[in-house]
Structures are given as C-alpha cells and as structure tokens.
C-alpha cells in the first residue's frame, strides 16, 4: 500500500514529520517497507522553453534546439540541446535535464557531449525517461504559463514523500489512506478528519436497473446513473497521487474510482451506459462463458464464479476486474456507477482459479465495511459530478446490509493477564474510542461495539491486541521464563541427534552443505518419481509446482549451476525431507540425505598428470562412511543392484540390511538423467535413507565401547583367490571375515587382476587380512589353522587359492 504525505494529511491533521510518521507506522504494526521522495530523483530537471529549433546539419532526424532554462542555468544564457523528439518545436515548454542530472528510468548521468559534431548541454525528456508514464513518442509538453526555470518536481507536485506499507491480511481497514490515518491518530500522532460525504440532489430516475441472482455471493449492490459527463483527464493533483501509489492515470472516470479505492479501501466500477443492454445482474457464471477483462486478456469462466452481466453476456468478474466491453472512453457521456458487497471467500476462490490478481480482489477478499456502501456511492458521485460534470439519478439499492454492528463482552483485566502490560482502564477506553470502537462500561465488564471495517475482531483477545499495539509494544516489560534449577535435560530426539551426526560427518569429509527448494519443476521431479507426484494447486510459480520425491534433483540442478560458473569440483550434500504418498493416500515425509559428486576429485598434478574424476567407488565410500556415522551396522550390509533407473545400471548399487531394507543407493547417474539436468561427464550421487536405519536397542544407543589398544602386535596375511568374474569383492571379504570372528579384525581387497596367468572368465582378488592375537602370540599352528579356515570359507563362493 503506497500513499504520499500530502494524501495522508488530507485525512490526518498532524504536525509530524515524514520520519516520525514512518517510525510510528511500524510501531503500531503497519510495517514500513520503504519511504521515498520522487523529487530527489528529479533533481536537475527544470521547466524550459524552446526558443528556436533548427535541423541538425549531419542528421535528418535530429534538431538543434536553443533552450531557455531560467536565470540560474548557464548564467541565464540559452543552452544548446540536440533532440530527436518529433514534437520538439520552437515556442513549446517542456522538461530539460541539465548536465549532472540522473535520468530516473535508466540511471544514466547526463553530461555535455557532442552529438554528430554539435555539443549538447542536456536533454529534453519524455514521460518514460522521467519514469512518470509509458509515453515515449515525444517530449513532455507543459502549459505555456508554467514559469521557466521552475523545478519540475515542484510544478508536478512530486516533492511529496511516499510511504510503502505492508498490510497484513487481517487489516482490510488499512487498505485505504483514511484507515491508516485513523490508526495514526489513535496512536497520538494527530487528529483524524471525519468523512464528509457530499449531499447528492438527484435530478432523474436511474436509466437501468440491477438485480442479484446469487445472494450467497453478493449481499448488496448500490448504483446510480450519471448523465452528461465529460471524460477527459483527471486533475493534476489526482494524477500525482495515483502515480505515487503506483497507479497509471487513465481517464477522469477511471481515476476517480481508483482514487476512492485507495483512499477508503472501497472498490467500485463505472460502466459506459451506452454499452449496457437491459438490467445488470449479479449471477453465477455458466461453464465456458468468456470475458475480455480490462487487462486485455480473455478469461474462460467456470460454473459458480460470480459475474456481473447484462442481456448480451458477462461484463465483469465480480470483485476482481471489470470488462473491456463496458469500459469508459473519451466518447462516454452517460455512466452507471456500481458499488457492491461481494463474499470474500467467493472472490478469493475465483481469483485463484483464474490466476488473476487485482487491487479490487486484494480488498474484497479481506472483507469490507457493509455500512460504508451508501457513503462510498455518494463520495464517488460527488467527485464525478465535480470533475466530469453531469447530473446524478436516484440511487438503486438491492439486497440488504446488517442493521446492527457486532458487540463483544470485554474484561479490561485481560490486558495485563493476556498481554503482560498494565494499562489504566481509562487509557484503555480512550484507545478504543480513538479507534472508533463504541465502549459501554457496566461495572467490571464492558460491552464494546465493533465498527464494520474491522471484520478481524472476533473476541476479547483481539481487543487486547488493539489496546497494546496502540499503547506501544515497546512498553511490554521483558520477563524471563521460569526455569528449574540444575542442568537442563537434553531436548533433541534420537532422530535429531542422528541427523546432526550425519550432517557433521558429511561436512567433515569435505562436502559442502546445500539448502535447495522443496518444490521442483514437474519434469525434473518426475525424473526421480516412483509414484504419482504431489503437485501444488496454488504454487508460487510453475517452476516450483511439484513436491520433491528425492533430494537429488535439487542437488543436481545446484551442481549444474556451479559447474556452469566455472567450479572444477562439486561436492554438495543436503539433509531434508522428501515427500511421498502413504498407503492411506496422505503425505509421508521421509528424512533423507542426498549427495552429489561432480567434476574432478583431484586436480591435475605432477604425480598423476591428468585430473582424476569421481567414480562409483567414491560414492560407495561416502555412503558407507555416512551410514557408519548414523550408527548403521555397516559390517552386515549387502551390496546389491537395482539402484533405480536414474542410475547407471553397471556403475551403481544399493546397500541393504537384508534383501528388502534399502539403507542407501549410490553410483553414477544415468547419462539420460544427467542430460535432463544439462550435466556432462560422469556425475556420482548418494541417497541415504535415514528413516530406514534401524533404531538402536533401548538403553544401548549407538555408543561404541571405549577403545583399548591390544597388548600384542597384529599379524598381516595376504591371500590371492581366483574367483568368477561376476563375483562381488564385497562378498569375498564378508566370507573371509566370517571365517574366524575372534581373531580376524579386518579384511580388505588391495588388488584385482585379470589377464596372463588367470583363466578366462575369472579374476584374481588379493585380500589383506589382519589377525589380532588375544591372550598369547600366534604359533605357526595357530596361523595355519586360521589360514585353512579362511580358504575353506572362500571356497564356498567358488574361490580357489591362487598358486
């Protein structure tokens, strides 16, 4: 919500400065997002008169102007300005930007410069260059009686600070300047000026009627016709205020309705009476009906959407936007003025369905004052007659509005018990009175009448909030929360502690944590979907419509952005939720870790020469390390295939605890999937399903026994086995470890060989085994017995000790 200081002072009698007003707005809950003064951006722009205009000697479309910019510019002597505007001519008055001025629309600083050999000392400006409109066909033309040399900001009434206030959805009363003035007056920053609607003397009966056929969507409509209007430009002061609010002046009739909406928060609509056929009717739309709105877009309507139509079809989307067919033009002479009360929920639903946002919708869906209808009609009528001329008819009233306002029983003691601030009862009553609540005191309890413009006030706690925010939130004393003596008990759950361990381990291994969106473009989300996606009905954008079924799409997109910007090695991880469908059809959130490795694992150097890229074994190492940090029994895990169609089938696998419980999947991303994310070269990924890791048994946790170094030195033995080519090295290592669990503390593959000396269809795997003696050193017989058990265990996989 934007408004200027002069606009506010039309409704608030105050001596406060713009800075004081800005501070008070935030203090009472109307958060100030910014305050600007348009005049500051127009410093250096003056009213100037063109004395002569001659053709440029070296350019057909340029003119050389001699311009008088007043006695303070160039010592009073005329300036030479090169100009290409088609309307530049001798005798005209326009706006000159002097050297040193900054063009608001482009940010360019003007300097003296030679244009085709002629020195130019400034620029005659168009509305677009001044950032005051869209007109760029020619330079601004001003009336001849404007004093030459006058600052343009002073002439255009732009030396007026503009406030930009963020209005929360529960405050429809502050969607107009008058409502904001009421709040400031209640906070002690001045006196609110009362609304004084004009007295309308009707001269004829209305030329058309209006009826309601959807009472559940529209409770009341007022209207009247005005004959003999002249729809020219609105007054300069009105245009300046609309511009300060971010509105584009269109014509007097349209500007008046916009001005009243921004002043009082009350939308309305004015129809060209000549375009109407029969009565206007507020009714539900019929499936497939269309309307060309004022934004020049055609909308296809659905059953139940509220519209305003006549005998020929739909004119307006009720409460949201008017139609182009009945819009007012320069030829309009007779109009029908409509002010209605539409259901907020109905307006919001229609707006969301059509993806149509407007100033009117933002006010209707918050809720409007039903008792303000006739006042708004008279204010609009009076302004139209005053500015555009014409004669008004009698008013039409259809429907009904509440006869009495709402009341709330209120105990003043709630202010201290709920709000923590002791405020005298007389001050409480004064605050409510300044906010125009009606207080009737009867002993300890009050009866408070709620004004119609405050639909957000439902009960006594809301009144407490009103009193405290006006009295000053800074007056609430800081009170420490009660706390038991002693050391506080830990509050983190086992899952939270597990998540922290995994996050710490991932970062310690050199990976960078990323935080990506939980929403994805449907196409990228579908690449990792194993079931129908959750798709938002009202997304913040089409590119953030699907809930992520995996963390990998977001990480792959982040990796692509980093690589595209020159990163040579990317190691990104994220811990978050993926969103799946539970068996009962509801949403199921699963805690997951995603990790992406792309680019070079090690840069090129004098030892290896070429850079070494990440491979599937790097992904496996990360998965095992992170599972170990999470407390998973990594020694019991099985490496199995079927990582998913998103992974390369020959360079990926899963880590499982049993055949069905998948704890992680890892490996190279399939080239087809990588191409969807615009990634080239091998990309490795890990997806670790934290929720699938079995919980520790009660009382044991994931703590390991304290490390006690063995008293006796370990013994290393190497074994080389011939195995089938399709035998997994992990299966062989697992068999070797199981041969003697008491003495074998470690086993690892350190060599793989196939070729000369190895039969076809086989490979040689060399395993280093660490043997730890317990009570006494090993004898030769002990080592022979252990070796025999290792060979026997390996033979069950078809392994043969290599000679």
For 87-137, the pLDDT digits (tens) are 999 999 999 999 999 998 888 899 999 998 899 999 999 988 888 777 778
CATH topology of domain 494-692: BirA Bifunctional Protein; domain 2 (3.30.930)
The pLDDT assigned to 336 comes to 95
**Contact indicator for 472, 431 with CB cutoff of 8 Å:** no
Fold equal for 2-37+160-192 and 210-399: no
For 713-759, the pLDDT digits (tens) are 999 999 999 999 888 888 899 899 999 988 999 999 999 998 888 88
The pLDDT assigned to 531 comes to 87
Three-class SS of residue 671? helix
Per-residue DSSP letters for 700-757?
TTTPPPPP---SS--EEEEEEEEEETT--HHHHHHHHHHT-TTTEEEEEEEEEE-STT
The pLDDT assigned to 505 comes to 96
Helix 252-264 with 236-244: angle, nearest 10 deg:
50
The pLDDT assigned to 611 comes to 84
Single pTM value for the model? 0.65
The pLDDT assigned to 74 comes to 83
Measure the CA–CA gap between 589 and 549, rounded to whole angstroms: 9
The pLDDT assigned to 280 comes to 94
Q: How far is CA 123 from CA 66, 69, 128, in A?
A: 12, 11, 13
* Beta-carbon-side half-sphere exposure of residue 505 (alpha carbons within 13 Å): 20
* CATH architecture of the domain formed by 2-37+160-192: 2-Layer Sandwich (3.30)
The H or E element that residue 651 is part of is strand 647-656
Per-residue DSSP letters for 226-260?
EES----PPPHHHHHHHHHTTPPP--HHHHHHHHH
For 326-347, the pLDDT digits (tens) are 999 999 999 999 999 999 999 9
For 704-716, the pLDDT digits (tens) are 667 778 889 999 9
State the chain's maximal CA–CA distance in angstroms.
124
Per-residue DSSP letters for 377-433?
HHHHHHHHHHHH--EEBPPEEEE---SS-EEEEE-TTHHHHHHS----HHHHHHHHH
Measure the CA–CA gap between 516 and 499, rounded to whole angstroms: 17
For 11-40, the pLDDT digits (tens) are 999 999 999 999 999 999 999 999 998 888
* Superfamily holding 210-399: Phenylalanyl-trna Synthetase, Chain B, domain 3 (3.50.40.10)
Cα-Cα-Cα-Cα dihedral sign, residues 473, 474, 477, 478: positive
**Which residue has 């305050």 as its token pair?**
35
Helix 460-471 with 425-434: angle, nearest 10 deg:
90
| For range 543-552, the mean pLDDT | 92
CATH topology of domain 40-155: OB fold (Dihydrolipoamide Acetyltransferase, E2P) (2.40.50)
For 750-784, the pLDDT digits (tens) are 999 988 888 888 999 999 999 999 889 999 999 99
| For range 2-8, the mean pLDDT | 95
**Which residue has 């004829």 as its token pair?**
204
Q: Assign domain 409-474 to a CATH class.
A: alpha beta
Residue 698 confidence (pLDDT) above 70 = no
**Contact indicator for 256, 241 with CB cutoff of 8 Å:** no
- Written as six digits, the tokens of 314 are 């739909």
Structural domain spans, the chain:
2-37+160-192, 40-155, 210-399, 409-474, 494-692, 715-801
Q: How far is CA 793 from CA 69, 765, 773, in A?
A: 102, 15, 20
For 143-179, the pLDDT digits (tens) are 999 999 999 988 888 888 999 999 999 999 999 999 9
CATH topology of domain 715-801: Alpha-Beta Plaits (3.30.70)
Tell me the pLDDT band of 634, cut-offs 50, 70 and 90: confident
The pLDDT assigned to 120 comes to 93
The pLDDT assigned to 620 comes to 94
Q: How far is CA 650 from CA 468, 666, 667, 670, 691, in A?
A: 67, 12, 9, 10, 27
Residue 2 confidence (pLDDT) above 60 = yes
Cα distance between the two ends of the chain: 86
For 271-309, the pLDDT digits (tens) are 999 999 989 999 999 999 999 999 999 999 999 899 999
Residue numbers belonging to the annotated binding site: 456, 462, 465-466
Measure the CA–CA gap between 556 and 567, rounded to whole angstroms: 14
Residue numbers belonging to the annotated binding site for Mg(2+): 456, 462, 465-466
Measure the CA–CA gap between 547 and 589, rounded to whole angstroms: 11
| For range 562-586, the mean pLDDT | 90
**Contact indicator for 241, 10 with CB cutoff of 8 Å:** no
The pLDDT assigned to 427 comes to 95
For 173-206, the pLDDT digits (tens) are 999 999 999 999 999 999 999 999 999 999 999 9
The pLDDT assigned to 464 comes to 96
**Contact indicator for 593, 625 with CB cutoff of 8 Å:** no
Measure the CA–CA gap between 440 and 138, rounded to whole angstroms: 63
| For range 69-80, the mean pLDDT | 88
Closest CA to 340 of 215, 432, 449, 501: 215
Closest CA to 622 of 514, 509, 733: 509
Could you tell me what percent of the chain has a pLDDT over 70? 99
- Written as six digits, the tokens of 523 are 């196409």
Measure the CA–CA gap between 258 and 268, rounded to whole angstroms: 8
The pLDDT assigned to 700 comes to 52
Closest CA to 612 of 602, 621, 622, 620: 602
Non-local CB neighbours of 193 within 8 Å, separated by 6+ positions: 10, 11, 12, 13, 181
Per-residue DSSP letters for 112-139?
-EEETTEEE--EE--TTTTTS-S--SS-
């Amino acid at each position: 919500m934007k408004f200027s200081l002069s606009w506010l002072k039309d409704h608030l009698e105050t001596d406060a400065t713009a800075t004081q007003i800005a501070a008070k707005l935030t203090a009472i809950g109307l958060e100030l997002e910014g305050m600007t003064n348009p005049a500051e951006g127009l410093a250096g722009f003056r009213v100037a008169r063109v004395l002569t205009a001659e053709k440029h000697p070296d350019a057909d479309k340029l003119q050389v102007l001699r311009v008088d910019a007043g006695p303070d510019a160039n010592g009073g002597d005329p300036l030479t300005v090169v100009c290409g505007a088609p309307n530049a001519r001798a005798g005209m008055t326009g706006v000159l930007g002097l050297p040193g001025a900054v063009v608001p629309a482009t940010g360019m600083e003007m300097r003296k410069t030679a244009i085709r050999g002629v020195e130019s000392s400034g620029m005659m400006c168009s509305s677009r260059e001044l950032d005051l409109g869209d007109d760029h066909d020619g330079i601004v033309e001003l009336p001849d009686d404007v004093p030459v040399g006058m600052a343009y900001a002073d002439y255009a009434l732009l030396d007026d600070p503009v406030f930009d206030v963020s209005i929360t959805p529960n405050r429809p009363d502050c969607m107009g300047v008058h409502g904001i003035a009421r709040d400031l007056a209640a906070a002690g920053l001045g006196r609110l000026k009362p609304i004084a609607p004009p007295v309308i003397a009707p001269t004829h009966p209305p030329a058309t009627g209006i009826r309601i056929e959807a009472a559940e969507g529209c409770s009341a409509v007022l209207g009247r016709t005005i004959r003999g209007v002249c729809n020219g430009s609105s007054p300069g002061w009105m245009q300046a205020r609309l511009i300060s609010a971010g509105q584009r002046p269109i014509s007097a009739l349209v500007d008046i309705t916009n001005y009243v909406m921004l002043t009082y928060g009350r939308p309305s609509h004015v129809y060209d009476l000549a375009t109407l056929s029969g009565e206007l009717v507020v009714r539900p739309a019929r499936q497939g009906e269309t309307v060309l709105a004022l934004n020049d877009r055609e909308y296809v309507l659905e059953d139940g959407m509220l519209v305003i139509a006549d005998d020929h079809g739909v004119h307006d989307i009720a409460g949201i936007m008017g139609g182009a067919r009945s819009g007012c033009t320069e030829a309009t002479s007779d109009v029908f003025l409509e002010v209605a009360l539409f259901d907020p929920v109905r307006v919001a639903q229609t707006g969301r369905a059509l993806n149509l946002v407007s100033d009117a919708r933002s006010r209707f869906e918050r809720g409007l004052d039903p008792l303000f209808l006739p006042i708004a009609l008279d204010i609009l009528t009076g302004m139209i007659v005053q500015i555009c001329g014409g004669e008004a008819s009698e008013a039409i009233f259809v429907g009904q509005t509440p006869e009495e306002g709402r009341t709330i029983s209120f105990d003043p003691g709630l202010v201290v018990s709920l709000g923590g601030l002791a405020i005298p009862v007389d001050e409480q009553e004064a605050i409510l009175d300044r906010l125009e609540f009606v207080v009737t005191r009867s002993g300890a309890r009050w009866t408070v009448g709620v004004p119609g413009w405050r639909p957000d006030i439902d009960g006594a706690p809301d009144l407490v909030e009103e009193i405290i925010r006006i009295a000053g939130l800074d007056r609430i004393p800081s009170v420490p929360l009660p706390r038991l003596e002693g050391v506080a008990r830990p509050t983190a759950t086992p899952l939270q502690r597990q998540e922290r361990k995994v996050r710490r381990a991932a970062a310690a291994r050199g990976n960078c944590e990323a935080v990506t969106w939980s929403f994805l473009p449907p196409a990228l989300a579908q690449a990792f979907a194993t079931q129908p996606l959750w798709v938002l009905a009202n997304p913040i954008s089409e590119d953030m419509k699907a809930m992520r079924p995996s963390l990998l799409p977001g990480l792959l997109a982040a990796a692509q952005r980093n690589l595209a910007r020159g990163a040579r090695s990317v190691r990104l991880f994220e811990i978050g939720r993926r969103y799946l469908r539970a068996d009962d059809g509801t949403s199921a959130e699963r805690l997951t870790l995603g990790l992406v490795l792309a680019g070079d694992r090690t840069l090129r150097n004098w030892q290896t020469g070429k850079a070494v890229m990440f491979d599937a074994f790097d992904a496996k190492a990360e998965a095992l390390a992170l599972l170990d940090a999470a407390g998973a029994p990594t020694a019991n895990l099985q490496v199995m295939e079927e990582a998913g169609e998103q992974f390369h089938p020959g360079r990926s696998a899963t880590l499982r605890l049993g055949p069905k419980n998948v704890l992680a999947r890892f490996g190279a991303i399939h080239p087809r999937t990588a191409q969807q994310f615009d990634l080239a070269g091998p990309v490795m990924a890990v997806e670790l399903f934290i929720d699938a890791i079995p919980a520790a048994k009660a009382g044991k946790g994931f703590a390991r026994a304290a490390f006690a170094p063995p008293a006796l030195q370990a013994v290393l033995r190497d074994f080389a086995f011939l195995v089938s080519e399709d035998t997994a090295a992990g299966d062989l290592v697992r068999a070797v470890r199981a041969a003697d669990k008491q003495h074998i503390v470690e086993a690892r593959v350190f060599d793989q060989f196939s070729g000369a000396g190895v039969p076809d269809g086989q490979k040689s795997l060399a395993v280093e085994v660490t043997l730890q003696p317990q009570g006494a050193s090993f004898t030769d017989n002990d080592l022979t017995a252990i070796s025999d058990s290792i060979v026997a265990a390996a033979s069950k996989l078809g392994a043969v000790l290599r000679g």
